[in-house]
């Protein structure tokens, strides 16, 4: 019991890095998800193809590869060390999951029943009004559970930043293990416990989102 | 006097707190055609679903050909029937569902053949021939290799009847078989049931809203209301000459 | 920091490709592990005992919502030192077990959704035709439950393929590992990592397109709710 407390205390030092990266990268991913998702639906063929390319590249390769690539490429491309590894971690996770979320956004907007569009046209709404008042409010409800699921995925993804020497929960876990291998099982169990506790609110929010998404949507 | 093939003895059924059937006593004789009518939610469907072993009665007994359907003797005591016991009796009973419930991964011929072959272990050639004959009888001889998704609702329901008939049940149950159909497709399905009723000697129980049809083919009509059989008699007694105000009120909704 | 060198870029290809069979090997093995273990979860989830079901559900949730990277470390570093049950596993086997276990929880849910997609009416029709319990599953339920899960399983195969480079952290010599080792000896990590990205994209993108096509095909062939289309 005391061992668990000691381990927890040590791991706690990485808590803020994990949480701050999760929040920042999630916000970035949500933003990208909406921009890229709606761009995919744009009538402008150039915007459509360009976002399509971004989405396929980031969904088609691994987060860990993207993280390493950005870790080396950003300093090279800009000739300078852009801020810190924290920023790189946020950008990598944000870009990766932004690509996935954009598909959620696009899919949800497309899934709103065509009768809704017809009703909006019949009420003489402009295409902006139609999107703003009719389509998006329904689409957003449908998106919520997937946004929840992907946020849990992002939480899991944050563990990768320990590989670019950011001192998150796993980073401190690994340090503990290297100094005391016989305690490794307990250390990693506590690490997993930390992530699970962080995931719990997201799990419950996702379940709630599933309820919400079933209501107030035409089908 | 022939013996009934099915006897319901004070059968009750509750779903949670609500008691749907409040003591049903009913005899079904071989070759008898019974129509069950009544307002929705009165428990009509539940009566036949219990005979098909899809719902278990809360209390009372259902006797099929002298065997207690839901109870069996074990070590000298009556206990709840197990799957083996149910299977030994279920073979006498066939059912046609409101929503057809055809197997979508099989052609309509395979739909008819799967149970005789897999359940009764009958000869494949013989079953195939019988199934084709049955599908011809319901007017679908030219579609035997189609999948259910390629058929209209009325056609699907006719397949469902053929599928039940190839099993040669002694009792056939029809659960609102025309309620899910477009009005113009109802006739073709009723025609097939009429044909079965006139030419086959199995007992039939129909839960239906087709009053004229019930009048035409049923030997006996039950009016179910609020979980009890409120009126029982020949079709003409119940549908044409009943003095029961509930029956009259119910029937008035079908007369335009 | 070096700038991009095409010479290095082309030089690195054969070196990195030497790790491809390992990456693909881990993917296939881990997927098979997950496919079998997913079945175990799907069966366990059908347990009717409430307490037991609750525990199973949350164990699955735990495995599913914690990082696979940590799970890999647990199996590779921690498992061997656990008394009695502990065994040392090679990096390859650790990766197969770790990723396989993680994704088995997802695949178990896919199986479950497939089974649940078969309507109640199918069970009732099978009962009315007096099928035995075994035959109900074999002839009626599973033949309908399985096909719709094929595209989902295919998608998870691709997802797992993309997670396999995590195993480079425990020394599995797949393409990412080869790229790192090439890059660190020649100081050309960016070229090497770009190659890894291209390989992943070249394999996963066509596979995803293929699965999409398969999905459309299955939907049209196998739609229970297909509109009534009388033929003729």
Q: Range of C94's domain?
A: 21-172
- Count of domains observed in chain C: 2
C15 and C28 belong to one structural domain: no
pLDDT reported for residue A217: 67
Structure tokens belonging to residue C185: 């000896």
* Whether residue C205 sits in one domain with residue C138: no
Best residue of A52, A54, A69, A195 to probe chain C, by most C CBs closer than 10 Å: A69
List for chain C the helix, strand, coil content (%; round to 5): 80, 0, 20
DSSP per-residue codes, C11-54: HHHHHHHTTHHHHHHHHHHHHHHHHHHHHHHHHHTT---HHHHH
**pLDDT (mean) for C51-57:** 95
pLDDT in tens, B206-233: 999 999 999 999 999 999 999 999 999 9
Q: pLDDT tens for residues A82-91?
A: 568 899 999 9
User: What average pLDDT does this structure show over A7-32?
Assistant: 96
Backbone angles phi, psi at A205, to 5 degrees: -60, -40
Q: Is residue C228 part of a domain?
A: no
Tokens of C182: 């090439």
Tell me if C226 is assigned to some domain.
no
Structure token digits, residue A215? 């209501």
Sequence spans of domains, chain B:
99-168
Min Cα separation C44/chain B (Å): 22
H, E, C per residue of chain A? CHHHHHHHHHHHCCHHHHHHHHHHHHHHHHHHHHHHHHHHCCCCHHHHHHHHHHHHHHHHCCHHHHHHHHHHHHHHHHCCCCCCHHHHHHHHHHHHHHHHHHHHHHHHHHHCCHHHHHHHHHCCCCHHHHHHHHHHHHHHHHHHHHHHHHHHHHHHHHHHHHHHCCCCHHHHHHHHHHHCHHHHHHHHHHHHHHHHHHHHHHHHHHHHHHHHHHCCCCC
Within 8 A of A170 by CB-CB distance, chain C residues are: 67, 69-70, 73
**Is C227 among the domain residues?**
no
Whole-number Å distance between alpha carbons of C179 and C186:
10
pLDDT at C220 over 70: no
pLDDT at A82: 59
Distance in angstroms between the alpha carbons of the first and the last residue of chain A: 53
Task: Tell me the two tokens of residue B215.
Answer: 């009048």
Nearest-Cα distance to chain C for A11, in Å, is 13
> C113 and C10, same structural domain?
no
pLDDT digits (tens, 9 = 90+) for B56-115: 999 999 999 999 999 998 888 889 999 999 999 999 999 999 999 999 999 999 999 999
pLDDT at A76 over 80: no
Does the pLDDT value for residue C224 go beyond 60?
Answer: no
Which SS3 state, helix, strand or coil, does residue B93 take?
strand
Q: How far apart are CA A169 and CA A192, in angstroms?
A: 10
The distance of Cα C70 from the centroid of its chain, to the nearest Å, equals 17
Helices A184-214 and C50-64, packing angle to 10 deg: 100
* C67 shares a domain with C3: no
Residue B173 pLDDT greater than 60, yes or no: yes
Q: How many CB pairs under 8 A join A and C?
A: 120
Q: Is the pLDDT of residue A79 over 70?
A: no
Chain C within 8 Å of B222 (Cβ-Cβ)? Answer: no
pLDDT at C225 over 60: no
Pick B23 or C2 by higher pLDDT: B23
Polymer length of chain A: 219
Mean of pLDDT over chain C: 90
Q: Which of residues 118-157 of A touch C (CB under 8 A)?
A: 152, 155-157
The answer as to whether C47 is a domain residue is: yes
Same domain, yes or no, for C12 and C57? no
As a whole number of angstroms, the distance between CA A158 and CA A177 comes to 19
Do C166 and C181 fall into the same domain? Answer: no
Task: Using the structure block, give the residue that is written with the tokens 């381990």.
Answer: A7
C136 and C26 part of one domain = yes
**C119, part of any domain:** yes
In a domain, C27, yes or no: yes
- Closest chain C residue to B112 measured between Cα atoms? C129
Mean pLDDT of A54-69: 95
Residue range A32-51: average pLDDT? 94
Per-residue pLDDT band for B1 (boundaries 50, 70, 90) equals low
Indicate if C115 and C14 belong to the same structural domain.
no
Share the mean pLDDT of chain B.
93
Provide the CATH number for the domain around residue C71: 1.10.3720.10
CA distances (Å), B206 to each of B47, B164, B176, B189, in order?
11, 14, 7, 13
CB C130 within 8 A of CB B121: no
The three-class DSSP label of residue C176 is: helix
Dist. CA C149–CA C218, nearest whole Å: 10
Confidence of residue B41 (pLDDT cuts 50, 70, 90): confident
Question: Residues C174-202: what's their mean pLDDT?
Answer: 91
**Using 50, 70 and 90 to split pLDDT, how confident is the model at C183?**
confident
Please say if the pLDDT value at position B124 is more than 90: yes
* Overall size of chain B counted in residues: 256
Domains of chain A: 2-214 (1.10.3720.10)
Q: What is the dihedral of CA B237, B238, B240, B241, to 10 degrees?
A: 60
With H, G, I as helix, E, B as strand and everything else as coil, classify residue C166.
Answer: helix
Q: Which of A136-140, B169-173, B234-238 has the highest mean pLDDT?
A: B169-173
Q: What is the mean pLDDT of residues C62-85?
A: 95
Interface of B with C in 136-195 (CB under 8 A): 143, 146, 149-153, 155, 163-164, 167
Helices A85-111, A45-60: inter-axial angle, 10-degree rounding: 120
- Count of residues in chain C: 232
Taking the alpha carbons at both ends of chain B, their separation in whole angstroms is 41
SS3 B232: strand
Q: Is the pLDDT of residue A69 over 70?
A: yes
In this prediction the ipTM stands at 0.93
Q: For residue range B5-34, what is the model confidence (pLDDT) as tens digits?
A: 999 999 999 999 999 999 999 999 999 999
Contact (CB<8Å) C222/B105: yes
d(CA B134, CA B147): 17
Cβ-based neighbours of B255, under 8 Å, separated by 6 or more: none
Torsion of CA A7, A12, A17, A22, to 10 degrees: 90
Q: Which residues of C touch A195 (CB under 8 A)?
A: 65-67, 70
Core vs surface per residue C27-51: b (16+ CB within 10 A) or e: bebbbebbbebbeebbebbeeeeee
Residue C25, pLDDT score: 97
Is C182 a member of any domain? Answer: yes
Query: Same structural domain for residues C14 and C27?
Result: no
Average pLDDT over residues A192-210: 96
Interval B126-148 mean pLDDT: 95
**Chains A and C lie in contact, requiring 3 or more CB pairs less than 8 Å apart:** yes
Mean pLDDT, rounded, for C68-88: 93
pTM, rounded to two decimals: 0.86
- pLDDT tens track for C120-132: 999 999 999 999 9
3-state SS, residue C185: helix
Q: Is B114 on the interface with C (CB under 8 A)?
A: yes
**Secondary structure of residue B67 in the 3-state scheme:** strand
Percentage of chain A exceeding pLDDT 70: 95
Q: How far is residue B5's CA from residue B204's CA, in Å, rounded to a whole number? A: 11
């Amino acid at each position: 019991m005391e061992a668990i407390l000691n381990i927890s205390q040590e791991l706690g030092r990485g808590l803020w890095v994990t949480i701050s990266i999760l929040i920042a990268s999630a916000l970035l991913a949500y933003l990208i998800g909406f921009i890229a998702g709606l761009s995919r639906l744009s009538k402008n063929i150039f915007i459509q193809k360009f976002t399509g390319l971004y989405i396929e590249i980031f969904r088609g390769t691994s987060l860990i590869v993207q993280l390493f690539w950005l870790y080396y490429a950003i300093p090279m491309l800009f000739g300078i060390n852009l801020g810190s590894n924290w920023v790189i971690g946020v950008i990598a996770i944000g870009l990766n999951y932004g690509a996935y979320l954009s598909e959620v956004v696009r899919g949800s907007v497309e899934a709103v029943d065509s009768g809704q569009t017809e009703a909006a046209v019949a009420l003489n709404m402009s295409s902006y009004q139609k999107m703003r008042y009719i389509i998006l409010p329904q689409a957003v409800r449908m998106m919520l559970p997937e946004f929840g699921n992907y946020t849990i995925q992002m939480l899991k993804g944050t563990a990768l930043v320990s590989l670019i020497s950011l001192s998150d929960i796993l980073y401190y876990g690994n340090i503990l293990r290297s100094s005391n291998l016989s305690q490794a099982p307990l250390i990693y169990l506590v690490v997993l416990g930390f992530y699970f506790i962080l995931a719990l609110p997201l799990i419950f929010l996702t379940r709630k989102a599933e309820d919400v998404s079933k209501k107030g949507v035409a089908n | 006097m022939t013996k009934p093939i099915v006897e319901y003895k004070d059968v009750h059924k509750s779903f949670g707190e609500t008691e749907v059937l409040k003591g049903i006593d009913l005899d079904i004789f071989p070759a008898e055609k019974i129509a069950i009518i009544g307002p929705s939610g009165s428990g009509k469907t539940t009566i036949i679903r219990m005979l098909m072993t899809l719902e278990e009665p809360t209390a009372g007994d259902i006797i099929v050909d002298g065997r207690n359907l839901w109870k069996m003797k074990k070590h000298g005591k009556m206990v709840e029937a197990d799957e083996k016991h149910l299977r030994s009796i279920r073979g006498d009973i066939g059912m046609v569902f409101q929503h057809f419930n055809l197997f979508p991964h099989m052609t309509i011929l395979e739909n008819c053949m799967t149970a005789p072959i897999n359940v009764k272990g009958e000869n494949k050639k013989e079953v195939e021939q019988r199934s084709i004959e049955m599908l011809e009888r319901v007017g679908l001889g030219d579609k035997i290799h189609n999948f259910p998704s390629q058929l209209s609702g009325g056609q699907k329901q006719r397949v469902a009847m053929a599928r039940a008939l190839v099993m040669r049940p002694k009792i056939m149950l029809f659960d609102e078989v025309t309620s899910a159909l477009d009005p113009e497709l109802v006739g073709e399905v009723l025609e097939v049931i009429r044909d079965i009723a006139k030419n086959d000697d199995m007992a039939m129980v129909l839960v239906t809203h087709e009053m004229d049809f019930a009048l035409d083919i049923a030997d006996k009509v039950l009016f179910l209301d609020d979980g009890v059989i409120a009126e029982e008699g020949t079709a003409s007694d119940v549908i044409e000459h009943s003095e029961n105000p509930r029956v009259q009120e119910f029937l008035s909704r079908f007369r335009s | 920091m070096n700038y991009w060198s095409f010479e290095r870029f082309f030089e690195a290809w054969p070196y990195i490709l030497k790790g491809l069979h390992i990456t693909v090997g881990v993917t296939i093995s881990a997927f098979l592990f997950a496919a079998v273990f997913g079945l175990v979860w799907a069966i366990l989830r059908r347990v009717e005992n409430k307490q037991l079901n609750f525990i199973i559900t949350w164990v699955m949730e735990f495995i599913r919502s914690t990082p696979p990277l940590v799970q890999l470390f647990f199996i590779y570093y921690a498992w061997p030192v656990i008394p009695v049950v502990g065994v040392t596993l090679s990096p390859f086997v650790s990766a197969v077990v770790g990723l396989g276990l993680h994704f088995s929880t997802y695949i178990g849910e896919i199986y479950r959704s497939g089974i649940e997609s078969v309507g109640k009416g199918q069970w009732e029709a099978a009962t009315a035709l007096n099928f035995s319990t075994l035959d109900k599953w074999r002839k009626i339920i599973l033949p309908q439950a399985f096909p719709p899960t094929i595209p989902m399983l295919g998608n998870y195969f691709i997802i797992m393929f993309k997670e396999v480079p995590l195993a480079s952290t425990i020394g599995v010599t797949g393409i990412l590992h080869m790229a790192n080792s090439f890059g660190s000896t020649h100081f050309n990590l960016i070229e090497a990592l770009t190659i890894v990205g291209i390989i992943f994209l070249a394999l996963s993108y066509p596979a995803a397109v293929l699965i999409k096509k398969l999905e459309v095909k299955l939907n049209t062939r196998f739609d229970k709710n297909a509109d009534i289309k009388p033929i003729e």
